[in-house]
Chains A and B, each alone.
Chain A
């Protein structure tokens, strides 16, 4: 209990901060719920990208900086292929491309670096990032491409009887959140209940020990990179249909960094909860904290939601370095 006191105190402080606009009457309840929902929906999408980071870290101990670039690459592949064939065929073909890409990364980047320092592997993924960013744009182009999922983009009003003026919900956001939730659920099952999932967790714990009991390390890595590639594809398709497929997708994916810091690098549930906390936290901060701060201190102004996510992650790092759901790492000396 004593050990968790700082975490509990921080969570309590955040909760109070979260409820403050409602308690002080600074926001009408309907609008407050809208901001909250907006944050949760953005959060689910962050979780989707964060999952890719967590998966690879969990299975190989590699912090894959290239996850954002994989999101962009996959989305570009789907968007450009969909110009020549039906969307479902483009997605199937893009899944194939992501599997081939995973195989190449394992063969050309990871295998030669097996048992090297984690920093060497991290640097290798940095290289992969720049390669994929540039190669993707060279092959598929740098314009804004669209992915049409056929979901209505016009908003709908709900709960008009409870809140004055109702609550505005975007169908596209809602569907995206549902798809993301389904994917998160199936990945959790895959890791907990299937032999491959368990083997992946064993590889994550100790490469050499896993090899010694006959788990094929190389095959496992190809599998996990392929799964991360498919997760990137889902994230890319959803983000791409919302924002258009273009280079900035790889930057949006960086929003997953504070999510994994907060949730814990090795935790699938951490990626989900972390995403939701970051999503809600940044939207609430931008809407309810930013304007009064600017007014009170006569600041120059500027969007705070981007850096606020990192402030949140840092706060959690200070009180719980392994993240909310991460495994505590103990080295014996």
Chain B
């Protein structure tokens, strides 16, 4: 009887496997037949695990915008967009696995990757030189990858963590009545103990040398739910300001611990990844007064959202919940999709309206020219800043503001426009990129020659 049962289980398993196999093969065969005019977008996302509350809205915004361009515009220049999501769980090993799985998909391979993790970005940077696929890290990634002559495939569009930390110090300086007033002040950096969290340290130390404030470095180990000891140290040291460099549950835990230790939320400033709805809502009223940088896209809805509702959600094609459209991270996901699509559009001018390779898309990314008029035409007015890139500058400019949580929504501080001090950052980028080039034996690109 037992033997029969074993055979029965085996037979059922084989039948299920065969059914799955044939369905997948059929789907693949169908796809191959229709693949002639498709541009493939890999989507590295995290919808499960410790960082899912932040990963989900970003992925929804990204995918919804791809759907909108297909539904409203018929794709990019007549080339349909296809995509596939791969769950990274914010883990570097799984991110690399997803990259390997998706890089060759579609008729011309992956268009570009958005790793949505500085750790994954570090791992993929070396691979990009071989595979020739752009890595877009809008608002994160390696700060030194702004230098396109060394980091030929990285695009930290819109801002790096050196920009962000510099902006925050400038803002705090302004609050204190001038950067010279920072002397003798204490500023604590509560950071995710990962490549992401460590990125701003170099810039902050540079600012310490210039202004003489004391910098307290307080690391928080992944995923960041254990912060009692960190906030006890804050209570003991009583810093004048706390900079929060967290992601996922770490942010809300920090705010809750600030409430528990009585640290004023008004003195807390988060990076642009520590200033979304999932970061503040779990702390309830305790989060009121908490501030964060707002990078490119604050929360709210504009013309593009109306289109998403009309062309995607009203047709039952929405990726997430209708009421979440317009949240900070949703908008940021949408922006990430937009810059990639605009790069493909730009590249189509040079290479023709056909599916493009990663190498061709890079040209589009290096020649992005999104000014205010273009942004308005795209329906993103008020949701992003102009971007203008080049072969040497993979950054395209960075402008940010400050928004404050008032209990129900984010309120953008009027009249605050922050721009990082390039005189401090440029030499740092140059030195770090030169070091990287020497270590990896990279021959620097001659942008003047390439342009010619």
| Chain A residues within CB distance 8 Å of chain B | 27, 31, 34-35, 38-39, 42, 133-134, 137, 142-144, 146, 153-155, 168, 170, 172-173, 242-244, 246-249, 251-252, 255, 282-283, 286-287, 291, 301-303, 305-306
**How distant is B323 from chain A, measured CB to nearest CB, in Å?**
12
**How distant is A36 from chain B, measured CB to nearest CB, in Å?**
10
Contacting pair B262 A31 (CB below 8 A)? no
Contacting pair B278 A143 (CB below 8 A)? yes
Contacting pair B50 A248 (CB below 8 A)? yes
Q: With A142-B48, A243-B256 given, name 11 new contacts (CB 8 A).
A: A38-B229, A143-B53, A144-B282, A146-B284, A153-B260, A170-B260, A172-B260, A248-B225, A302-B221, A305-B221, A306-B221
The verdict on A247 contacting B236 (CB below 8 Å), with A144-B252, A155-B261 known, is: no
Q: Across the interface, name the chain A residue whose C-beta is closest to B248.
A: A248
**How distant is A222 from chain B, measured CB to nearest CB, in Å?**
24
Partner of B53, one of A142, A153, A291: A142
Asked whether B52 is an interface residue with its Cβ less than 8 Å from the other chain, the reply is: yes
Contacting pair B52 A168 (CB below 8 A)? no
**How distant is A300 from chain B, measured CB to nearest CB, in Å?**
9
The SS class assigned to the B binding surface is: helix
A41 vs B219: C-alpha distance when bound (angstroms): 22
Residue from the set A133, A144, A242, A301 with the largest chain B CB neighbour count within 10 Å: A144
Number of A-B contacts (CB under 8 A): 116
Asked whether B193 is an interface residue with its Cβ less than 8 Å from the other chain, the reply is: yes
A146 vs B220: C-alpha distance when bound (angstroms): 22
Partner of B228, one of A38, A246, A249: A38
The SS class assigned to the A binding surface is: helix
Q: What chain A residues lie within 8 Å of B226 (beta carbons)?
A: 42, 252, 255, 303, 305-306
**How distant is A285 from chain B, measured CB to nearest CB, in Å?**
8
Asked whether B137 is an interface residue with its Cβ less than 8 Å from the other chain, the reply is: no
Q: What chain A residues lie within 8 Å of B223 (beta carbons)?
A: 248, 251
The verdict on A305 contacting B229 (CB below 8 Å), with A170-B260, A244-B252, A247-B48 known, is: yes
Q: Across the interface, name the chain B residue whose C-beta is closest to A251.
A: B223
A152 vs B370: C-alpha distance when bound (angstroms): 49
- Chain B contact residues (Cβ within 8 angstroms of A): what range? 35 or more
The verdict on A137 contacting B229 (CB below 8 Å), with A243-B256, A303-B220 known, is: no
Partner of A155, one of B50, B220, B221, B260: B260
19 inter-chain pairs at a CB distance below 8 angstroms, sorted by A residue, are A27-B236, A31-B232, A34-B232, A34-B235, A35-B229, A38-B228, A142-B47, A144-B53, A144-B281, A153-B260, A154-B259, A155-B259, A173-B260, A246-B249, A282-B229, A287-B236, A302-B221, A303-B219, A303-B229
Contacting pair B249 A244 (CB below 8 A)? yes
A297 vs B139: C-alpha distance when bound (angstroms): 34
Partner of B230, one of A172, A248, A303: A303
Contacting pair B261 A301 (CB below 8 A)? no
Contacting pair B219 A243 (CB below 8 A)? no
Q: What chain B residues lie within 8 Å of A170 (beta carbons)?
A: 260
Q: What chain B residues lie within 8 Å of A137 (beta carbons)?
A: 48, 52
Residue from the set B193, B256, B260 with the largest chain A CB neighbour count within 10 Å: B260
**How distant is B195 from chain A, measured CB to nearest CB, in Å?**
12
A286 vs B236: C-alpha distance when bound (angstroms): 13
Asked whether B233 is an interface residue with its Cβ less than 8 Å from the other chain, the reply is: yes
The verdict on A142 contacting B52 (CB below 8 Å), with A243-B225, A244-B249 known, is: yes
Contacting pair B217 A246 (CB below 8 A)? no
A248 vs B222: C-alpha distance when bound (angstroms): 9
Q: What chain A residues lie within 8 Å of B107 (beta carbons)?
A: none
Contacting pair B233 A287 (CB below 8 A)? yes
B residues 200-257 touching A (CB-CB < 8 Å): 217, 219-221, 223-226, 228-230, 232-233, 235-236, 248-249, 252-253, 256
Q: What chain B residues lie within 8 Å of A243 (beta carbons)?
A: 225, 249, 252-253, 256, 282
A249 vs B249: C-alpha distance when bound (angstroms): 10
Asked whether B264 is an interface residue with its Cβ less than 8 Å from the other chain, the reply is: no
Asked whether B56 is an interface residue with its Cβ less than 8 Å from the other chain, the reply is: yes
Q: Across the interface, name the chain A residue whose C-beta is closest to B52.
A: A142
B residues 320-362 touching A (CB-CB < 8 Å): none
